[in-house]
Amino acid sequence: MPDIKKFKAKGIVPGKATGPALITRERVMFLGFTDPKQGIFHAPQTELRGKSFKGAILIYTSGKASSGGARAINLAVRAGNAPAAVVNLELDPITVAGCALDDIPLVQLEDSSIFDQVKNGDTVTVDADKGEVIASMTCPPKIGPLEMRDSCKITTGGSKSENKKVFGDAGISNSPGG
**What pLDDT digit, counting tens, does each position of 6-17 carry?**
999 999 999 999
User: Do 153 and 133 have their domain in common?
Assistant: no
Of all residues in the chain, the percent with pLDDT exceeding 70 is 75
Q: What pLDDT does 7 receive?
A: 97
> How many domains, in total, are found in the chain?
2
Question: Rounded to an integer, what distance in angstroms lies between the CA atom of residue 39 and that of residue 47?
Answer: 15
Is 175 designated active site? no
User: Do 35 and 85 have their domain in common?
Assistant: yes
User: Do 53 and 125 have their domain in common?
Assistant: yes
Check 52, 66, 136, 173 and give the catalytic one.
66
Query: Is pLDDT of 92 > 60?
Result: yes
Range of the domain at 168: 145-178
Query: Is pLDDT of 66 > 90?
Result: no
| E strands in 29-171 | 34-35, 40-41, 57-63, 85-88, 106-109, 123-127, 132-137, 154-155
* Most confident listed range (27-31, 56-60, 170-174): 56-60
Summarize the confidence of residues 11-37 as an average pLDDT: 95
CB 9 within 8 A of CB 112: no
User: Do 85 and 24 have their domain in common?
Assistant: yes
Task: Please state which of the ranges 20-34, 103-117, 149-163 shows the lowest mean pLDDT.
Answer: 149-163
Q: Between 37 and 139, where is the model more confident?
A: 37
User: Do 76 and 17 have their domain in common?
Assistant: yes
User: Do 47 and 133 have their domain in common?
Assistant: yes
| Neighbouring-strand partners of residue 8 | 132
